Amino acid sequence: MPDVHDENSYEPHPKPGVSHLDYAGEQGMAVEQGTLVEADPVKREEARSLWGDAWRDLRRRPIFLISAVLILLLVVMAIFPWAFTDADPRKADLVHNYLRRPDWTDFFGAGWFGYDGQGRSIYARVVYGARASITVGICVTLAVTVLGGLTGMVAGYFGGGIDAVISRIIDIFFGIPLLLGALVLLNAFTTRTVWSVVIALGVLGWTQIARVMRGAVLTVKQADYVVAGRALGAGTGRLMFRHILPNAIAPVIVVATIALGGYIATEATLSFLGIGLQDPTISWGIDISSAQKVIRTAPFALFFPAAALSVTVLAFIMLGDAVRDALDPKLR
Amino acid sequence: MTANGSSALGATVPEEVAFAQEVPRGEPILEVRDLVKHFPLTKGILLKKQVGAVKAVDGVTFDLMQGETLGIVGESGCGKSTLAKVLMNLEPATAGSVRYKGQEISRLSGAALKAVRRNIQMVFQDPYTSLNPRMTVGDIIGEPYEIHPEVAPRGDRRKAVQDLLDVVGLNPEYINRYPHQFSGGQRQRIGIARGLALKPEVIICDEPVSALDVSVQAQVINLLEQLQSEFELSYMFIAHDLSIVRHISDRVGVMYLGKMVEIGTDAEIYDHATHPYTQALLSAVPVPDPTARESRDRIVLTGDVPSPANPPSGCRFRTRCWKAQDRCAAEVPLLAAPFWLGGAARHDSACHFAAEREVGQSAAEREVGQSAAEREVGQSAAEREAGKAGSGAD
């Protein structure tokens, strides 16, 4: 037994009858935590995981709640656009609807946001345009995170020659401007769909994640707890995915979510330039592009798709921020 | 006590066939012979050319006995931690041998290495970086069982982890907490529990208390001592705090610039040191009594520790030693008991002029001796230069 006791030391083999509440009082440590946990003996016994704790933490953050609701709304809109509007986004009525102003009394109706230069309902087009943006954003982010994350992890963990080769490949890709590269790649497709945009952005975007991941792995690899894992006899897989990945993933999540917003914006840019999605695909980028010709007479035709794009990008960035904070137990 | 130990850990251990034999108390369990670890210094980007090596550990020989605590002391950069890493097989040895229960372990890999890892564990210096911040205490202490599932069946692991927490003096209810919710001393207890999980026979403690407050240091040291008697552990205890090493160690080894300069029982080292470096180290230990502090005789070493990439010829301490002679530059002193000494002074010491320090020697006398030594060193350095020039001409 320790000869010297501090207030934190704990007497092993407690006498029967000493309740857990007495412990918490004696420890004087993390009292808030202690009382919270002690108050509910059933909950105390639950094993707590990193993600479980992160979720508990996230539920209390207003930024997370706002962005999560927005993203949920956008995702539902992308999957079931007909649930939000009866109007047909492709129905063009130039005779009656040419650049008709928004009608605020037509709540959730075809004329709510007005009509564009083809006489199509802007509200319906905003709703239906979510699908292209969300699909591109999520799919590109997933692709680059998996591809870039694995490559960066391998480069950082093994180092040496493998690292040198991967790093040079990353450097080469970094030399290609995203828009120029996407332009060249997308030109190779005769008909451009959402998937051709996903492939083009994925091929050009993975290096960003790979570089961040490599740097994070290089830092974490040096940590004593990784050395301790090796000393216990842990294999490469366990060291990589149990010790290094959870501690190196935070910067990747931040970069990936910010990039997600960026990919949505890039898709809109490409569509705006006429090398991304093509009619008849409905995309905010295409609508912004066609609305710029009538910006003086009908600014609303530009405003609504642009606002939808901004809100979507913002929501993903805010979500990324909140998730990063929640995943870092040190910030709790 | 072993049976008691296993029940306390809640683990039924199928004994490893390879390392099953018991080593009687006082017999060597770990034999280190001429262990060398050089870190190559390379030049060039594409075609790497070795231009030299940092000789972090350069020919270290010692035995760790079953059930004893061997303290390793030395100043920063003398190779203590590298020695620990090489013994743990975390860094490959450049040369030399490490034998555990008579079997060579320094070049093992795969399953054989994993078996050794069960028997030799480590406690790290910094309790703030040695625990994965994303794992709960239960996961951290339970991980050894996941890596070595034969030690504890799946269903018993939670119980085993809670028992370990209890053994190291932490509340078993803390199993679901994260490391950052604990103080430094508590974290070090978690680190010790992780080291104990596999029921190792040897624990290498790499400065386990140097990151802790003094009062907490005492608790952790006492815990280590208590665990040693409970589980019959052998410790290699690396530290730079001489008082703590004296408190916990049965034997003490003193390192300087990658070499073991003196090794013996704690009484031999602390009361009958014969190597000048050990004497200088000991004279730097703070004395709590102000009057004794006034009258005592401090040896103040001049200069810095030479670079381990380019250590001095012969005896590595000679550049800072007041006893240095020409012989020290020419001849590497071997770690052996000096035949000209008797009694407690006759223990392994790597000095050509090993002698107990004369307590009566006045500061003035030593001053003279020191300046003489400086002259000698300067002279020998000049000779060495001359010798180099001569060999260059050849």
Q: Return the higher-pLDDT residue of B3 and B342.
A: B342
In a domain, B261, yes or no: no
> Model ipTM?
0.78
How much is the average pLDDT of B298-322? 87
Whether residues B194 and A232 touch (CB distance < 8 A) is answered with yes
Scanning every residue of chain A, which has its alpha carbon at the shortest distance from the alpha carbon of B84? A231
A177 has a pLDDT exceeding 80: yes
Structure-model confidence comparison of residues A277 and A29, the more confident one: A277
Taking the domains of chain A in order of start, what are their residue ranges? 1-46, 56-331
Stretch A41-58: mean pLDDT, rounded?
59
- Looking at the structure, do residues B99 and B238 belong to the same domain, yes or no? yes
- How far is the C-alpha of A181 from the C-alpha of A204, rounded, in Å? 7
B284/A contact by beta carbon, under 8 A: no
Q: How many CB atoms lie within 10 A of CB B29?
A: 25
The residue whose two tokens read 């210096």 is B125
Query: B180 to chain A: which residues are within 8 Å by CB?
Result: 329-330
Contact list in B for residue A1 (CB cut-off 8 A) is 169, 222, 226
Q: Each residue of B278-301: pLDDT tens digit?
A: 999 888 888 777 777 777 778 888
Report which of B44, B55, B107 is spatially closest to residue B77, judged by C-alpha positions.
Answer: B55
pLDDT of residue A8 exceeding 60: no
Residue A151 pLDDT > 60, yes or no? Answer: yes
pLDDT tens, residue by residue, B318-339:
998 888 888 899 989 989 888 8
Give residue-wise pLDDT tens across range A54-73: 788 888 889 999 999 999 99
Residues B237 and B332 in one domain: no
- Name the band, by pLDDT with cuts 50, 70 and 90, for residue B369: very low
More confident residue, B12 or B84: B84
B282 CA: distance to closest CA in chain A (Å): 26
On whether the CB atoms of residues A144 and A209 are closer than 8 A, the answer is yes
Least confident span in A23-27, A72-76, A158-162, B137-141: A23-27
**Same domain? B336 vs B372:** yes
Q: What are the tokens at A31?
A: 């009292």
Q: Residue A119 above 90 pLDDT? A: no
| B280 and B227 housed in the same domain | no
In this predicted structure, the answer to whether residue B254 has a pLDDT above a threshold of 90 is yes
pLDDT at B6 over 70: no
Q: Does B186 touch chain A (CB under 8 A)?
A: yes
Q: How far is B43 from chain A (nearest CA, A)?
A: 15
**pLDDT at position A51:** 66
Please count the other Cβ atoms lying within 10 Å of the Cβ belonging to residue B92.
11
What integer pLDDT is reported at residue A213 of this predicted model?
A: 94
Mean pLDDT of A6-29: 42
Mean pLDDT of B3-23: 49
CB A125 within 8 A of CB A92: no
What average pLDDT is seen over chain B? 82
User: Does A243 contact B at CB distance below 8 Å?
Assistant: yes
B86 and B34 assigned to the same domain: yes
Task: Give the per-residue pLDDT at A164.
Answer: 92
CA distance B344 to B360: 19
In this structure, are B80 and B153 located in the same domain?
Answer: yes
Nearest CB to B218 within list A4, A224, A231: A4
What pLDDT band is residue A16 in, cutting at 50, 70 and 90?
Answer: very low
Q: What's the pLDDT tens digit per position in A206-218?
A: 999 999 999 999 9
**B216 shares its domain with B127:** yes
**Is B1 inside any structural domain?**
no
Task: Flag whether residue A17 sits within 8 Å of chain B, measured between CB atoms.
Answer: no
Question: How confident is the model over B299-328, as a mean pLDDT?
Answer: 87
> Is the same domain home to B235 and B332?
no
Is B84 among the domain residues? yes
CB-CB neighbors (< 8 A) of A3 in chain B: 218-219, 222
Q: Using CA coordinates, name the residue in chain B closest to A230.
A: B90
Chain A: closest CA distance from residue B293 (Å): 27
Per residue in B192-216, pLDDT (tens digit) is 999 999 989 999 999 898 888 888 8
pLDDT tens per residue across span A227-245: 999 999 888 999 999 999 9
| A231 in B contact zone (CB under 8 Å) | yes
Say if strands B120-123 and B103-104 run parallel, antiparallel, or are unpaired: unpaired
- For B38-59, the pLDDT digits (tens) are 998 887 766 677 888 889 999 8
Number of folded domains in chain B? 2
Q: Which chain A residues contact residue B166 at CB under 8 A?
A: 12-13
Q: How many Cβ pairs within 8 Å bridge chains A and B?
A: 120
| Contact yes or no for B173 and A20 at CB 8 A | yes
Using the predicted structure, report yes or no on whether residue A47 has a pLDDT greater than 70.
no
**Structural tokens at position B1:** 């006590």
CATH of A56-331, one of 1.10.3720.10, 1.10.1740.10, 3.30.70.270, 1.20.120.80: 1.10.3720.10
For residue B157, tell me if it sits in a domain.
yes
- pLDDT for A84 equals 86
Chain B contact present for A46, CB below 8 A = yes
In the predicted model, is pLDDT for residue B11 greater than 50?
no
Nearest CA in chain B to A30: B181
- Residue B115 falls within a domain, yes or no? yes
Provide, as residue numbers in chain A, all residues whose Cβ is less than 8 Å from the Cβ of B126: 224
User: Which pLDDT belongs to residue A328?
Assistant: 66
Task: Please report whether residue B13 resides in a domain.
Answer: no
Q: Which residues of chain A from 141 to 160 reach within 8 Å of chain B, CB to CB?
A: none
Residue B154 buriedness (CB in 10 A; 0-12 / 13-18 / 19+): exposed
Residue B355 forms contact with A (CB below 8 Å): no
Q: What is the mean pLDDT of residues A277-292?
A: 86
Q: Nearest-CA neighbor of B217 among A2, A259, A40, A147?
A: A2
Residue B356 forms part of a structural domain: yes
User: In which band, very low, low, confident or very high, does the pLDDT at B102 lie, cut at 50, 70 and 90?
Assistant: confident
Identity of the residue numbered B3 = A
The reported pLDDT for the residue numbered A93 is 81
Dist CA B222 CA B290 (whole Å): 28
pLDDT at A300 over 50: yes
Query: Residue B373 pLDDT > 80, yes or no?
Result: no
- Looking at residue B27, which CATH number applies to its domain? 3.40.50.300
The verdict on residue B173 lying in a domain is yes
Within an 8 Å CB–CB cutoff, is residue A56 touching chain B? no
Q: Which domain holds residue B377?
A: 272-393
- C-alpha distances (whole Å) from A8 to each of A45, A112, A195, B187 are 22, 65, 59, 11
Mean pLDDT of A307-325: 87
Query: How much of chain A exceeds pLDDT 70, in percent?
Result: 83
Q: What is the pLDDT of residue A13?
A: 45
List CB contacts (< 8 A) between B118 and chain A.
Answer: 233
